[in-house]
Amino acid sequence: MWIRAMTDLGPTRIRVQTICAYQFIEKHENEAEVLLIYTADNTLFEIHENVSGLLELLDSTFESEFIN
């Protein structure tokens, strides 16, 4: 499964199976929400668009893996 994300360099696709960790940074006064995604090859993606949608997708994907 792949997710499509908009990064500073433009649109990219990230394979969900390569994600090692992700971190949601909440919105503060003049800042936007940010989703950081770390992959197995030590790549860091900083995502600013559709953060809530991607966070829900990742949470549901990894939650089902932890339950099984």
Taking residues 39-53, what's their average pLDDT? 90
- Mean pLDDT of all residues belonging to the chain: 86
**Of residues 62, 67, 66, the one with CA closest to residue 16:** 62
The pLDDT tens digits of the residues spanning 4-16 come to 888 878 899 999 8
pLDDT of residue 66: 65
Structure tokens at 54: 């991607």
Sign of CA dihedral 64, 66, 67, 68: positive
Which residue, among 56, 45, 50, has the nearest Cα to 21 in the 3D structure?
45
Domain boundaries, the chain: 2-67
Predicted confidence at residue 65, as pLDDT, reads: 66
